[in-house]
Amino acid sequence: MTTVAPLAYSPYDYAIHEDPYPTYARLRAEAPVFYNEELDFFAYARHADVLAAFRDVDHYSNSYGVSLDPAAFGPEAHRAMSFLAMDPPRHTRMRSIVGKSFTPRRVAAMEEGIRQLAVSHLEPALQAGSFDFIADFAGRLPMDVISELVGVPASDRAEVRRLADLLVHREEGMDDIPQEGLEAALTLAGYYAEMVADRRRHERDDLTWSLLHAEVDGDRLSDDEVIGFLFLLVVAGNETTTKLLGNAWYWGWRNPDQVAKPLGDPGRVSDWVEETLRYDASTQMLVRVTRQPVRVQGTDIEAGRRVLLLIGSANRDEAVFAGPEAYDLDRSTQDLVSFGSGRHFCMGAPLARMEARIALGELAARVRAYDVDETGIERVHSINVRGFAALPTTVTPR
């Protein structure tokens, strides 16, 4: 007789980092509104509930941030997470001013530069034949793109990326940001403060200078607000795109019949990106706090309670995606919630998608087949993002 383990879920659990999807499936079926008594949070597992919460700013607040970590959760969360940790009208003001500089036109103008950066990292890696997909490519390109955008010099980028990695890493058995992560946050904050001070003195053709001078009806951002946005970019803009690229590469390797489609037809690269966003989203969950009592799936939740919106589970919901456990590049992904929805829909989504299309497209144009050394794979251990720290790769060039 098979004994079924009690249903449990914690985003700090290393087993969840390895494979959360069987647990998500049980949550959707058995406890779509799950309560973790030890950590005192509710978790929504079904697509309909996650989507509704994203769109409902009257009942769900962002003002305490999007992370469960005690060191990151609280009324000062906006210092590191910018408007991701704000409610209207503060959120509306901040996003409007940032939008004056971080425009679709500015993102579109980056395409050729991103392509050049991608090729500059790819060519030496492909010439070597074997390389670490994360260390040599996926971890470097997004950092270079964000750095070019905001004005971080090439000589500083490796260190900024190392600090960003420390920010998202979580130690096994520890339910908070490790000391190294806290120290990294302080170092990054100091670095960006110096950068902002420099832009106050010297005009530069970068986003940091533009943010300091952007205004809506005479209203401008303070230095602290610009620093907070730069912090958000290096974590949300860099880490999540690195994880998206790594996840696409990994699941393509695990599903050779599917990856053969974009490798054989570059026009299918967008499908590779979108199905990866659905199947194994870089961002697995985000936190909200109830502003007033809510009733979801028959569960009453009081005001002031923490709710985890399980993006990774919503994207595998059988009620929305047929055969959700299959990695299928031919499916419709229009209902994925990987970038959120409503007022807090990710402003960086177009940039992330463009980076991924360019990076994977340049690979598809140069690689006929590839293999990953399973013994060398390393996962990132984080509560919000999911991806790889190492993917040793061998390629067969065209």
pLDDT at 2: 60
Q: What is the pLDDT of residues 220-241, one digit of tens each?
A: 889 999 988 888 888 777 788 9
Task: Inform me whether the pLDDT recorded for 77 exceeds 90.
Answer: no
- What residue ranges do the domains of the chain occupy? 14-397
HEC letters along 58-86:
CCEECCCCCCCCCCCCCCCCHHHHHHHHC
What value, to the nearest 5°, has the Cα angle with vertex 321 and ends 260 and 314?
Answer: 110
How far is C-alpha 332 from the geometric centre of its chain's CA atoms? 21
pLDDT at 145: 92
How far is C-alpha 135 from the geometric centre of its chain's CA atoms? 18
Q: How far apart are CA 147 and CA 150, in angstroms?
A: 5
DSSP state letters, 160-176: HHHHHHHHH---TT--S
Q: How far apart are CA 113 and CA 119, in angstroms?
A: 10
The Cα-based distances of 250 to 59, 200, 371, 382, 392 in angstroms read 38, 43, 9, 18, 10
pTM above 0.75, yes or no: yes
Domain 14-397 falls in which CATH fold?
Cytochrome p450 (1.10.630)
Pairing mode, strands 285-290 and 130-132: unpaired
Sign of the Cα pseudo-torsion (253, 339, 39, 301, in order): negative
pLDDT at 309: 98
pLDDT at 173: 63
What are all long-range contacts of 90-96, with beta carbons under 8 Å and residues at least 24 apart? 91/62, 91/343, 91/344, 92/343, 93/216, 93/219, 94/221, 94/225, 94/229, 95/347, 96/216
Report the SS3 class of residue 131: strand
- For residue 89, whether the previous peptide bond is cis, meaning omega lies within 30 degrees of 0, is yes
Q: How far apart are CA 247 and CA 253, in angstroms?
A: 10
Q: What is the pLDDT of residues 275-308, one digit of tens each?
A: 999 999 999 999 999 999 999 999 999 999 999 9
Give the residues across from 286 on adjacent strands. Answer: 309
pLDDT at 170: 63
